[in-house]
Amino acid sequence: MAGARAVLRPGPRRAAGRPPAAAPRAGRAAHPVLYLFGQRAAVGVFTLFVVSVLVFLATEVLPGNAANAILGRNAASNPVALHRLEAALHLNRGLLDQYWLWFSGLFTGNLGHSLVNGQPVWSYVEPRLINSAVLMLVTGVIGSLAGVALGAFAALRKDGWFDHATSVTALAVTSLPEFVVAIGLVILFSTVVAHLLPAVSLLPPGTYAWNAPQLLILPVVTLVIVIVPYIQRMMRAAMIEALESDYVEMARLKGVPMWRIVLMHALPNATAPTIQVIGLNFLYLAGGVVVVEYVFAFPGIGQGLVYAVDNRDIPVIQFIVVVLAAFYVFMNIVTDVIALLATPRRRIPR
């Protein structure tokens, strides 16, 4: 009888309406950061492939070819030299073969030569690429810190004079294009008003911006003025939302000091949405530097692209456009991963 009771004894009762606990799923839910990185990387590789095809086709449909551009007026009078040069540049091959040779050259470093000065494309672009990277990095760091600080302080002084002043200034600055801000700074600091800084960034070819840091001041200030309002407005809105949340109110009722509430609770939660805006501003800088570098004659990749387009330097155009596209893809991946890491609830497996 005792054995029968043991057999018929019911097991542990589950609460009514509560589903059985499920084991954590592997893959996407278990490693959301790795999954997001892999997904974005796959999309990025495909995007770069499509961009390379479009760039190659867009430059190939232009009238004339590289051999004609190199020989200039001698192309018509010396057809033998023209045919030899076309063979050396593989222009006598099919379009698919030309694309494959160019695409594989992106990985082997065989990028061809500039049609304007005969210099290898990488040797021509490399110092400009580094100068633009320095300009974007300095601008991004200063602009991000300034935007976050202004937005957080405006949120702490909501509806005060500082909040109203920064909001009106941000709205006014966002309506100005980059070249207007650049010209205004040149008038203020490089002419008769206050001749303090050089109006143009004159550097010998192949030199780097850190050899003359004073040439970075006006381009950096221009770009910082342009990007700060967007970061400041996003940080202000996110900070106000965090300060008005229930957990912050609970911390206040418990007597937690205000500085601790701001640093330990409000600021970290307001940072996650702001990171997305900071990433978007880095992406904007990739295009914004083209205008600013042209205005200040800054020897960067933007100015190099403008000169290459003016002179129809096709190998340089192709490589710079692919580099800018790769930067866009890379920054999108970095922004998404950092935003995920900064949001704890999105990292919890479900």
| Main-chain dihedrals φ then ψ at residue 113, nearest 5 degrees | -125, 155
Structure tokens at 300: 């960067």
Amino acid 223: pLDDT: 92
Angle formed by the axes of helices 121-156 and 314-341, nearest 10°: 30
Q: How far is CA 82 from the centre of its chain?
A: 42
Burial class of residue 306 in the structure, from the number of CB atoms within 10 Å of its CB (0-12 exposed, 13-18 middle, 19+ buried): middle
Taking the C-alpha atoms of residue 266 and residue 238, their distance in angstroms, rounded to an integer, is 9
Amino acid 221: pLDDT: 92
Q: Residue 90: CB partners within 8 Å, gap ≥ 6?
A: 97, 98, 101
Amino acid 224: pLDDT: 93
Hey, where are the domains in the chain?
A: 32-69+76-108, 122-347
Angle formed by the axes of helices 301-311 and 121-156, nearest 10°: 130
Amino acid 346: pLDDT: 53
DSSP symbol at 120: B
- Going residue by residue through the chain, which has 350 residues, state the pLDDT in tens, using 9 for 90 and above: 444 444 445 544 544 445 554 444 544 544 777 777 788 888 888 988 898 889 888 877 766 666 666 666 665 566 666 666 666 666 667 778 878 888 888 888 788 788 778 788 888 888 888 988 899 999 999 999 999 999 989 988 888 898 899 889 888 888 888 888 888 888 888 776 777 787 777 776 667 777 778 888 889 999 999 999 999 999 999 888 888 888 778 888 888 788 887 888 788 788 878 888 888 888 888 777 888 888 888 888 888 888 888 887 888 888 998 988 888 888 888 887 777 776 655 554 44
Taking the C-alpha atoms of residue 201 and residue 203, their distance in angstroms, rounded to an integer, is 6
Long-range contacts from 284-289, C-beta under 8 angstroms, 24+ separation: 284/227, 285/136, 285/139, 285/140, 285/223, 285/227, 286/136, 286/324, 286/327, 286/328, 286/331, 287/324, 288/178, 288/223, 288/226, 288/227, 289/132, 289/135, 289/136, 289/219, 289/223
* DSSP string for residues in 37-68: HHHHHHHHHHHHHHHHHHHHHHHHTSSS-HHH
Q: How far is CA 240 from the centre of its chain?
A: 27
- In whole angstroms, how large is the CA radius of gyration of the chain? 29
Angle at 143 between CA 138 and CA 144, to 5 degrees: 105
Structure tokens at 16: 């009514």
Class of domain 122-347: mainly alpha
Angle at 135 between CA 228 and CA 118, to 5 degrees: 145
Taking the C-alpha atoms of residue 251 and residue 249, their distance in angstroms, rounded to an integer, is 5
